[in-house]
Amino acid sequence: MCGIAGIMTIDGGPPEGAVLDRLLAALEHRGPDGHGRHQSGGVAMVQTRLAIIDLDTGGQPFYAADGSKGGEPVALVANGEIYNYVELRARMTGVRFSTNSDCEPPLHLYLKHGLDFTGHLRGMYALAIHHPAEKRLVLARDPFGIKPLYYAETPMGFAFASEPQALIRAGLVQARLVPGVRDELLQLQFTTGRQTIFAGIQRVLPGETLVVEGGRISGRRRINPLPEEGPRETSEPEALLHLDDLLNDAVGIHQRSDVPYGMFLSGGIDSSVLLAMMDRLNEKPVRAFTVGFPGTNAMDERQHARMLARRTGAYHVEVEFGAEDFWALLPEIAAAVDDPAADYAVLPTYKLAAAVRKEGLKVVLSGEGGDEMFGGYGRYRAAMRPWPLTRALRRRGILNGLPGHLEVLREPASDGRGDWRKGLAVTEATSATGGRTRLQAAQALDCADWLPNDLLTKVDRCLMAHGVEGRVPFLDGRLAAFAHTLPDRLKVRRRRRAGVGRSLGKWLLRRWLETGLPSSRPFSPKRGFTVPVGQWMGERGRQLGSLVAAQPGVAEVCLPRQVEALFNATNDARAAKAAWTLLFHALWHRTHIQGLAPEGGILETLSAS
């Protein structure tokens, strides 16, 4: 796990050393264990390293001779893990490897297969290859977008980095906000598509490979993370056997590491599956981390997680996140999430990552993707209802249609016609392709934008801020393809007990847990994860509301008095969500657009503006 960045100039002149130094400094938190640099002609690449595999010889860049062309060697820098590196090395019998790193095989695959090399990779990655003989730079990102990669086309040339803030801090791009994308953030809590919230900075899309020549993009190609076909018929017993094999394989390769690893344990279906499989695969006790919210009305998952840890013999670490953490940590969390995801789960994720690092671990497995792959969300069940009961998949705007007197926007936009919906509309139009069912289309929609730009961004930034690598086994390509093509009835099914029926998602995972970890009570209703931000904000609503209303990032789009009223109504769930989103945006805007560092806690930081 690392940070990478680089430049290709238009005129072929060498990039400035001071700019490269600033790129390295901006990405140091992603790789505190070392750094490397490559420069040849008009191309330079830098990398900061978090050492996970091949601790002794795995430093980057990697180099390989271009046998067909001669001349300068081809160079690679990478951020991520190639989990099938053992199998790749075994098949590449004629290759002389310089290291034992998991990220060296992609370089040799590129030399053999050209731009098709990514089709052989199983893992999470964002990487860059400089091929001097071809005078080109190649960038590639894994199909689900687990690892981030951004770029900018500037008058000087093409630049890329693992985080947008690195491009800004290096002086390659100015921190200017795109109003339409800002509106999307305020309504969805994340942003969609290629354009980021920063003018001039774009995302390499999940599964995309870019070719850059002469400092400009000359080609693109993309791998779809999910099959476009409809369900494949199979029986439940056959599916359970296949699921067991795939889970064993996926979790097994996600544990490949030369450093100790642990897992996040919520006690829900996804993390219970991970715990059960890790317990099967490890001789030593699994190290599990659970968060709780003491003194609040939020459901506390620690008791259930504690019971599962005892049943499996796991070493269990319980982390408390309280009101004092909320008021103290949010400014630095907003500063860490430069590509903004206003998901309140950033709060516990950030503190869990600190606890993982404090325990001496660099790697943690997490359950992201389980809901999207196996049909866990209530909106999926709604999408399956027969006409005319089917509900639209469209998300409602957070700042639209607030109760009573709480309309805060200066220029309200319709849920159906607002410009902020344009990005989602594009994805909605392409998700229902081929023979996909309505359920599959809903899953594909989430995997295209919400998963990479909210959930996975949250995990990446919160963990990397502490030098911790997050791994997500449910997004293994083989497991995901299997799950996506399961019959709908093996994802969502109605279960009757004592004459009462209810529809349950993640049916096949629940059935697997009946024998894999029966104490997890797999057929209990889904326990929705929530963070009690409304309760915390309500404690100081009047003071907080006036401070947020005065912030430039909020005042330019919202009516101050209405914002103040919103923060005095956080006992209402919709009002609390809207208030939280504005609070996060106010702090994010202060750091990433105004260029002001946090001044301590929430109140101190907002008062200092």
User: Taken in order 62, 97, 208, 66, is the CA torsion positive or negative?
Assistant: positive
Written as six digits, the tokens of 487 are 């019959």
Q: Furthest-apart CA pair in the chain: how many Å?
A: 76
Q: Is the pLDDT of residue 479 over 60?
A: yes
Per-residue pLDDT band at 426 (split at 50, 70, 90) = confident
Q: Note if the bond before 231 is cis, omega within 30 degrees.
A: no
* In contact, 453 and 192? CB cutoff 8 Å: yes
Total length of the chain: 609
Domain 2-222 adopts which CATH fold?
A: Glutamine Phosphoribosylpyrophosphate, subunit 1, domain 1 (3.60.20)
pLDDT tens sequence across 494-551: 775 544 457 889 999 999 999 999 999 999 865 667 899 999 999 999 999 999 999 9
What is the per-residue burial (b if ≥16 Cβ within 10 Å, else e) of 175-189?
A: bebbeebbbbbbbbb
Task: Give CA separation, 246 vs 81, 151, 250, 286, in Å.
Answer: 19, 35, 6, 20
Per-residue pLDDT band at 475 (split at 50, 70, 90) = very high
> Which of 266, 291, 256 is CA-nearest to residue 471?
256
Tell me 597's DSSP state.
Answer: -
Residues pairing with 501 in the sheet: 496
pLDDT tens sequence across 161-200: 999 999 999 999 999 999 999 999 999 999 999 999 999 9
CATH number belonging to the domain at 236-376+450-520, selected among 3.40.50.300, 1.10.4160.10, 3.40.50.1460, 3.40.50.620: 3.40.50.620
How far is the first Cα of the chain from the last one, in angstroms, to the nearest whole number? 35
Query: Which DSSP helix (H) or strand (E) runs through 160?
Result: strand 157-161
Query: Which DSSP helix (H) or strand (E) runs through 217?
Result: strand 216-222
Domain with CATH 3.60.20.10 in the chain: 2-222
Per-residue pLDDT band at 417 (split at 50, 70, 90) = very low
Task: Supply the pLDDT for residue 391.
Answer: 54
Task: Supply the pLDDT for residue 412.
Answer: 66
The angle at the Cα of 302, spanning 309 to 330, to the nearest 5 degrees, equals 125
> Which of 77, 64, 91, 199 is CA-nearest to residue 147?
77
Per-position DSSP letters for 385-454, written without gaps between them: SPTTSPPP-PPPPTTSS-STT---BSS---TTT-GGGHHHHHHHHHHS-TT--HHHHHHHHIIIIIIIII
Q: Is the pLDDT of residue 234 over 60?
A: yes
Q: Is the pLDDT of residue 289 over 50?
A: yes
Per-residue pLDDT band at 390 (split at 50, 70, 90) = low
Of the listed ranges 150-164, 369-383, 406-420, 500-514, the one predicted with least confidence: 406-420
Q: Report how far residue 350's alpha carbon sits from residue 330's, in angstroms, rounded to the nearest whole number.
A: 10
3-class secondary structure, 70: coil
Tell me 116's DSSP state.
Answer: G
Per-residue pLDDT band at 388 (split at 50, 70, 90) = very low
Rounded to the nearest angstrom, the gap between the alpha carbon of residue 253 and the centroid of all alpha carbons in its chain is 20
Percent of the chain with pLDDT over 90: 85
Whose tokens are 């209703």? That residue is 525
Q: Report how far residue 342's alpha carbon sits from residue 586's, in angstroms, rounded to the nearest whole number.
A: 11
Phi first, then psi, for residue 204 (nearest 5°) are -70, 125
Q: Report how far residue 179's alpha carbon sits from residue 167's, in angstroms, rounded to the nearest whole number.
A: 20
* In contact, 127 and 4? CB cutoff 8 Å: yes
- Amino acid present at 124: M
Percent of the chain with pLDDT over 70: 95
Phi first, then psi, for residue 5 (nearest 5°) are -160, 165
pLDDT tens sequence across 17-55: 999 999 999 999 999 999 999 999 999 999 999 999 999
Rounded to an integer, the average pLDDT of 113-142 is 97
Model pTM above 0.85:
yes
Per-position DSSP letters for 280-336, written without gaps between them: HH-SSPPEEEEEE-TTSSSPP-HHHHHHHHHHHT-EEEEEE--HHHHHHHHHHHHHH
Across the beta sheet with 208-213, what order do the strands follow?
Answer: 62-64, 74-82, 123-131, 136-141, 208-213, 216-222
- Amino acid present at 227: P
Tell me 455's DSSP state.
Answer: I
Q: Is the pLDDT of residue 415 over 60?
A: no
Whose tokens are 């005095």? That residue is 568
Task: Supply the pLDDT for residue 392.
Answer: 53
Residues 6+ apart with CB under 8 A from 448: 206, 427, 430, 431
Q: Report how far residue 500's alpha carbon sits from residue 548's, in angstroms, rounded to the nearest whole number.
A: 47
Of the listed ranges 256-260, 343-347, 385-389, 579-583, the one predicted with least confidence: 385-389
Residues pairing with 49 in the sheet: 2, 32
Task: Supply the pLDDT for residue 70.
Answer: 73
Domain with CATH 3.40.50.620 in the chain: 236-376+450-520
Task: Supply the pLDDT for residue 496.
Answer: 57
Q: Note if the bond before 452 is cis, omega within 30 degrees.
A: no
Q: Report how far residue 28's alpha carbon sits from residue 370's, in angstroms, rounded to the nearest whole number.
A: 31
> What is the chain's Cα-based Rg?
24
Q: What is the mean pLDDT of the chain?
A: 93
Task: Supply the pLDDT for residue 414.
Answer: 45
Task: Supply the pLDDT for residue 386.
Answer: 65
